[in-house]
Amino acid sequence: MMKTYFDDLVSGIEAKLDADPASRSPRKIYALEVARLGARLYGGEDRVAWCGVTAPFDLLAAMGVTSCFVEFIGAMLASTGMTGTFLEAAEHAGFGGDTCGYHRSVLGAAKKGVMPVPDFLIATSSPCSGGLAVMENLARHFEKDLFVLNVPQEPSAEGVRYLSDQLREMAAFVTDHTGEPLDGDRFRLAIAHTNRAREIMAEAYRLAQAVPSPANGRLMGNFGIVMALLLGTEAAVDIATAYRDDFAAKVGKQGSGIAVERLRLLWIQNRIQFKNPLVDILENEYGAAVIADELNAITWDPIDPEDPFTGLARRAISIPFNGRIDRRIAHLQQMARDYRIDGAINPCHWGCRQGTGARGLIAGGLKAMGVPVLNLEVDCIDSRNFSEGQLRTRLEAFAEMLENRN
């Protein structure tokens, strides 16, 4: 089922691009590469590793392993409207509705045989406790070996050394399971791709900060987090280039990502992954463009190809979901300044202790610099209790409040 889905998606986008090369939008190129990744994960030919969010996907790519964080599958199932059955399967197996929907849907998919059996699994302690637990459950379910990366909370010298030591051990673990040692040249090439993509993504983000912004909620949704999956490959460089060039062209013409930009919004943490009209309502009815997602930012330095494990460790530690909340708040404040944000939306995904748990502190931190935050009550994966009417009313009130301030 999933294999057919991804194969059809790949061939559909390729056919469209062949028929009409002018339709090569950045989002299409991004969607194509993501679909290709899905096709490889489900194709049955590649070596596959299910991972946690902060795994080093570039290192894994350099070692010939197709890898993906499992939450991506949860999001994908939700976006295609298929997740209901899997959530129910997980709940039936005892995973209660108070846990994160990303994890519940993946566990349900595994139980229903819709997740390919991996060669091994790599869990990461960041961003969340639920993420570690789901990997333990999956390792047990698939009866496959599990490696755990404990991502320290702070980038202290000891923390960075600890994680880089673990990354070296992880590479040995991968070799044990694939029979292939880490090839220095392939690794260097992957790091070169990562650094190049990083540089171009930084340019794209900088261009997205223009007034009006060339970005919009559709173009940028889930961008930063999903791009992590493609780092280390040419695909990441191609996608970043497409975004950068598209934004540069638009900025050159004072073009806006939406019809008329009146308000500029920052989206905190998770997008609502199932089909819903909220971003369209904001952008079309209120001219409130969602120009940035929290993870659409570069929080790490280029990786030194001569000391790659240290750079990879620093990168994993740097994500805003890791560490003290003041670090995350400072990151959001910086984004709000860079993007000249009028307001922020925090969907407060129900099962997320890591993110939603701190919503009061986050709202306080942004409010202190004059950026109001709208906290919504949603489950970003589980649409069963989605109350569009109520949310629409809250968005409208928020947009009106922001307009009255301007």
Partner 1 sequence: MKAVPDRGIIGYTCAYTPIPIIEAAGFVPYRVLPMGDAPDQAGQLLHDNLCPHVKRVVDRAMGGDLPALSGMVFINSCDAMRRLADAWRNVRPQDPVIFLDLPATHDEVANRFYASELKRLADHLAVRAGIDAGEMDWQASVNTFNRLCELLAACSTRMRAGRLAGGRAAMQALYNRACTRPAAESIQELEMLLETHETDADVSPGVPVFLFGNVMPDPEAFALMESCGARIVADDFCTDSRMFSPVALGSDASVFQALAGSIAQKPPCARTFSPKTPGRMAADVVAAARECGAAGVIGHTLKFCDPYLARLPMVREALNGEGLPLLMLEGDCTLRSIGQQRTRIEAFIEMLR
Taking the CA atoms of residue 292, residue 293, residue 294 and residue 295 in that order, the dihedral angle to the nearest 10 degrees is: -110
Cross-strand bridge partners of residue 68: 50
Using CB under 8 A as the binding rule, the residues of this chain from 126 to 145 that contact partner 1 are 128-130, 132-134, 136-137, 139-140, 145
CA distance 254 to 259: 12
Using DSSP's 3-state secondary structure scheme, residue 286 falls into helix
Among 46, 85, 162, 202, binds partner 1 (CB under 8 A): 162
Choose the one of ligand SF4, partner 1, none that binds residue 208, judging by a C-beta under 5 to 8 angstroms depending on kind.
Answer: none
Strands (E), 262-400: 263-267, 288-293, 343-346, 373-375
Number of other CB atoms surrounding residue 367 within 10 Å: 12
Which residues contact residue 163 at a Cβ distance below 8 angstroms, ignoring those fewer than 6 apart?
149, 150, 151, 152, 313, 316, 317
Q: Which residue's CB is nearer to partner 1, number 91 or number 203?
A: 91
Q: If residue 106 lies in a helix (H) or strand (E), which one and from where to where?
A: helix 101-111
CA distances from 354 to 75, 94, 100, 293, 361 (A): 18, 22, 10, 17, 12
Q: What is the nearest approach in angstroms of ligand SF4 to the Cβ of residue 69?
A: 9
Q: Which residue's CB is nearer to partner 1, number 108 or number 214?
A: 108
Choose the one of partner 1, ligand SF4, none that binds residue 71, judging by a C-beta under 5 to 8 angstroms depending on kind.
Answer: ligand SF4
Determine, following the binding rule CB under 6 A, whether residue 221 of this chain makes contact with ligand SF4: no
Q: What is the nearest approach in angstroms of partner 1 to the Cβ of residue 339?
A: 24
User: What x/- string results for residues 332 through 371 when contact with ligand SF4 is judged by CB under 6 A?
Assistant: -----------------x-xx-xx----------------
DSSP string, 120-173: EEEEE-SS-HHHHHHHHHHHHHHT--EEEE---SS--HHHHHHHHHHHHHHHHH
User: What x/- string results for residues 99 through 138 when contact with ligand SF4 is judged by CB under 6 A?
Assistant: -x-x------------------------xx-xx-------
Q: What is the nearest approach in angstroms of partner 1 to the Cβ of residue 133?
A: 3
- Please give the structure tokens belonging to residue 402: 């922001």
Among 14, 169, 183, 285, binds partner 1 (CB under 8 A): 169
CA distance 18 to 285: 34
Q: Which residue's CB is nearer to partner 1, number 169 or number 180?
A: 169
Choose the one of partner 1, ligand SF4, none that binds residue 193, judging by a C-beta under 5 to 8 angstroms depending on kind.
Answer: none
Q: What is the nearest approach in angstroms of ligand SF4 to the Cβ of residue 382?
A: 12
Choose the one of ligand SF4, partner 1, none that binds residue 234, judging by a C-beta under 5 to 8 angstroms depending on kind.
Answer: none
Choose the one of ligand SF4, partner 1, none that binds residue 66, judging by a C-beta under 5 to 8 angstroms depending on kind.
Answer: none
Among 103, 244, 250, 271, binds partner 1 (CB under 8 A): 103
- Please give the structure tokens belonging to residue 234: 């040419």
DSSP annotation of 344: E
Give the residue carrying structure tokens 């390729």.
Answer: 14
Contact criterion met (CB below 8 Å) for 141 and 111: yes
Q: What is the nearest approach in angstroms of ligand SF4 to the Cβ of residue 356?
A: 7
Determine, following the binding rule CB under 8 A, whether residue 310 of this chain makes contact with partner 1: no
- Using CB under 6 A as the criterion, which residues of the chain lie in contact with ligand SF4 when the complex forms? 71, 100, 102, 127-128, 130-131, 270, 321, 349, 351-352, 354-355
- Using CB under 8 A as the criterion, which residues of the chain lie in contact with partner 1 when the complex forms? 93-96, 98-100, 103, 123, 125, 128-130, 132-134, 136-137, 139-140, 145-148, 150, 152-154, 158-159, 161-162, 165-166, 169, 324-326, 348, 350-354, 356-361, 364
